Amino acid sequence: MTLAKRHQAFHDLHQQGCFVIPNPWDRGSARMMAALGAQALATSSAAHAFTLGRPDMGGVTRDEALAHAADLISATPLPVSGDFENGFGDSPDDVAETVRLSAEVGLSGISVEDTQMIPGNPAYAFTLAVERIKAGAAAARALGRPFIFCARADGVMNGAYDLAEGIRRLQAFEAAGADLLYLPVPPGKAELAQVLKSVTKPVNALAAGPLKSLTVADLAAMGVRRISTGSQIARLTHAAIRDSVTAMLHGSFAPLAATASGDDIDALLLKGSTE
C-alpha cells in the first residue's frame, strides 16, 4: 500500500464505526500486530522509551521519535500515527513544526497533549493550550493530504484539572480544528459518556484504568470511534519479563511453558511485513 493510500485509509477509519489501534514498540511487534489483523498502528512514547532503557515522560527526543516512527512505517504496509507527547515544545510553532516533520517521515497522524513534560505534568494555561492545537490543526490542513490531528486533554489522568475542565478543553480543541479528541483514563464509563456527549468530532478512548473492564463492543456502542492501547501491551510484555525471570532466578522455569513457538513467531513476522 502506498503512503497516499495509507493516509486515506487512516482518515477513512475515523469516519464511521469503531476500530482498535494497537501500539507497537519495534519492527517485530508492529509486524505481529499487523499479521493479527490490526488496521492501523500507533507509536507509544512510553513503550519507545522503555526500549531505550529510559522512563516514560520526556524520555525521548523529537528526532528519536521521528526516526522510531519512520522505522515502524517501513515495517508494515499499515498507516501509523505518532504519540508525540506535548508536541516536543511549549509554543504553538513547536507543535506546528512537529506536524510538518511528522508528515515528512510518512505518519498518517499524530496526537498532542496539553500538559507539560516536566515532573507533575502541569497543564498549559487554557488559552495557550488552545492556541497550540489551533497551530497544529492549521499545519495539518496545510499538508494538502489526509492527516488525523488528535488533541489530548491529559489533565484528568495527570490530576492537573477535573473532568469539567477536560471537557471544556476538548470542546475548545474541537473548535480549534482538531480531527480527533482524546481524554485519557476518565474515572469511569459514566464520565466517558459525558465526554462523548460534549463533542461532535470522533473520540479516542484508551484501554486502560477503569475502561479495561469494558469490551470493544461496549465502547463502540457508546460512540467511541477509536480505541488505543497506549503502553499497555508493552507493560504486559515487561510484566512477563519481570515475572518469568523472577521465577527462574528463584528456581522455576514453569513460566516458559507459555512461550510461542519460533515457527509461529516467524510466520507472523513474515505475514505482518506484507499484509
Taking only the tens place, the pLDDT of each residue in 168-226 is 999 999 999 999 999 999 999 999 999 999 999 999 999 999 999 999 999 999 999 99
CA distances from 66 to 50, 60, 101, 212, 257 (A): 16, 10, 8, 29, 37
Domain with 53 in it? 3-274
**Dihedral sign from CA coordinates of 223, 225, 227, 230:** negative
Whole-number pLDDT of residue 83: 96
Q: Which residues are CB-contacts of 109 (< 8 A; sequence separation ≥ 6)?
A: 10, 79, 81, 82, 147, 148, 149, 150, 179, 180
**For the chain, how many structural domains are there in total?**
1
User: Which DSSP state fits 160?
Assistant: S
Whole-number pLDDT of residue 55: 83
CA distance 21 to 47: 15
Whole-number pLDDT of residue 154: 97
Which stretches of the chain drop beneath a pLDDT of 50? Answer: none
Contact 105, 70 (CB under 8 A): yes
Whole-number pLDDT of residue 57: 73
Whole-number pLDDT of residue 28: 97
Whole-number pLDDT of residue 275: 65
Q: What is the CATH number of the domain that holds 26?
A: 3.20.20.60
Whole-number pLDDT of residue 245: 96
CA distances from 59 to 14, 110, 127, 174, 215 (A): 29, 18, 27, 29, 31
Whole-number pLDDT of residue 58: 72
CA distance 156 to 133: 18
CA distance 85 to 44: 9
| Strand extents, DSSP E, 22-174 | 41-42, 80-83, 109-112, 148-152
The amino acid occupying position 157 is M
